[in-house]
Amino acid sequence: MNEKIKKNLERLKELNIDMFGKDFLLTWEKSDDEIEATMLFTEIIKEMHKNNISTKVFDSGIAVPVFRDNSTRTRFSFSSACNALGLGLQDLDEKKSQIAHGETVRETANMISFLADVIGIRDDLYIEEGDRYQREVASALDFGYNEGLLHQRPTIINLQSDIDHPTQSMSDLSKIKDHFGSLENLKGKKLVMSWAYSPSYGKPLSVAQGMIGLLTRFGMDVVLAHPEGYNVMDSVIDVAKENAEKSGGSFTISHDMKEAFKDADVVCPKSWASYSVMEQRRDLLHAQDFDGLDALEKSCLLENADHMNWEYTKEMEALTNNALYMHPLPADVTGLNCEHGEVTREVFDSHLKDTYHQASFKPFAMMAMIWLSKFENPIAKIEEVLENNKKRLNK
């Protein structure tokens, strides 16, 4: 068995985890040990895939992706992850379903779940509603399972809500740990989650929220930087503050990009909409007021345009401590896919390997989350699978 896997297994046995049968909705609902376990499993499973070892533990069963917003990488990560575990996929395409027909969330959740093991939900468009929807589904499934209508309780994986984007932030954590060598090494490092200018509007807040809600747990000095008015949810700010205090790190908010980036070890410059814009947008979407949406877009883009200097450039990078550049992708890259964006092409291209590497953890993070929810003794199970050492493709 390879050394990395061995070391992770040893560490795992020291952790105290209680994730069997649980959903994965917000990282801050999981204990420090559970977060670390998820990360260690992510690494083990990635290593297994690299070494061509099968991770197929389901003989059959379906996973249900529910995407209420477009997606490429999250969709592929989820499909790939479920496939690698042995699950089939059946999309819940709300346009092709009878949901408009008037059925309730409780009903739909049960109707799709008779043979389902996992439900992945992306619902990030509607502020104050995405997370609530996921919990409504969860509670419907509890009803069905407790009443004996479902033979198994599908695990819900949050594929991005209005509040958190845990499969992203857990991938980010894995990347940052890989970069610095250990979780221990994160202590005292400066991480900046920064707003950046974009010629589009209405991007979810949950990437930024996910980052500050998770990365404050490891003793880092975390800075959330954004122009005034682009604030995120208060409840997540509270989580970040509390995490920082507990972990011996710090959490601060800055409205000056340059100051924020000074001596940073990790930077993630990325656009998002302000909370109040997301509220207006949600109401207009519900009202199907397309003229209103156009007007909102125009006014927001004008507002964004006041902050065009929030761009990650060579000069900005020079202020940092040779910082690791992170982005969940796709980025708005000046001169590549837009005239003015979040980052210059020069800087973006020089970090291409890092951003792709960051993304490469996502399917394995999803597999880790599912694994930890599905096996009573997830460590014994992975040891069993490693022992079998079945090849994924016997070349």
Interface with its own copies in residues 201-240 (CB under 8 A): none
Instruction: Name residue 367's amino acid.
Output: M
Whether 359 contacts 169, CB under 8 Å: no
Candidates 65-73, 241-249, 298-306, 308-316: pick the segment binding its own copies (CB under 8 A). Answer: 65-73
Q: Measured from the CB atom, is 57 or 183 closer to its own copies? A: 57
**Residue 144 in contact with its own copies, rule: CB under 8 A:** yes
Using DSSP's 3-state secondary structure scheme, residue 57 falls into coil
* Ramachandran quadrant class, 26 (left: phi over 0; alpha: psi -120 to 50; beta: rest): beta
Minimum CB separation from its own copies for residue 235, in Å? 27
Q: How far apart are CA 203 and CA 198, in angstroms?
A: 10
Q: How far is the CB of 219 from its own copies (least distance, A)?
A: 29
What residues form DSSP beta bridges with 190? 221
- Binding map of its own copies across residues 72-111, x = CB under 8 A, - = no contact: xx-xxx-xxx-xxxx-xxx-x---xxxx-xxxx--xx-xx
Bridge partners for 303 per DSSP: none
Q: Does residue 2 touch its own copies according to CB under 8 A?
A: no
- Contact call for residue 297 and its own copies (CB under 8 A): no
Query: Phi first, then psi: what are they for 159, rounded to 5°?
Result: -95, 15
Q: How far is the CB of 112 from its own copies (least distance, A)?
A: 5
Could you tell me which stretch among 26-34, 68-76, 175-183, 223-231 binds its own copies (CB under 8 A)? 68-76
* C-beta atoms surrounding 330 within 10 Å: 10
146-165 residues near its own copies, rule: CB under 8 A: 147, 149-151
Indicate which single residue of 363, 370, 373, 386 sits in contact with its own copies (rule: CB under 8 A).
363
Q: Is 338 in the site for its own copies (CB under 8 A)?
A: yes
Name the residue type at position 256: D
Q: What's the min distance (Å) between Cβ of 254 and its own copies?
A: 28
Task: Work out the end-to-end distance of the chain between its first and last CA atoms, rounded to an integer number of angstroms.
Answer: 20
Helix, strand, or coil here: 60? coil
Size of the site for its own copies (CB under 8 A): 78
Nearer to its own copies, 212 or 369 (CB): 369
Asked if 335 is part of the footprint of its own copies (rule: CB under 8 A), the reply reads no
When the beta carbons of 20 and 29 are compared against its own copies, the nearer one is: 20
Residues 107 and 141: beta-carbon distance below 8 Å: no
Report the site for its own copies in 181-200 (rule: CB under 8 A): 200
**At its nearest, how many Å lie between its own copies and the CB of residue 241?**
32
- The 190-194 sheet, strands edge to edge: 250-254, 221-225, 190-194, 266-269, 324-325
Nearest-approach distance from CB 28 to its own copies, in angstroms: 27
For its own copies, the closer of residues 306 and 384 by Cβ is 384
Determine the Cα–Cα distance for residues 141 and 21; give it in Å rounded to an integer. Answer: 12
CB of 148 vs its own copies, minimal distance in Å: 8
Is 60 a binder of its own copies (CB under 8 A)? yes
Residue 382: which of 120, 3, 6 has the closest Cα?
6
Residue type, 150: L
Considering only CA atoms, which of 270, 257, 254 is closest in space to residue 316? 257
Pick the binder of its own copies from 35, 116, 193, 239 (CB under 8 A): 116
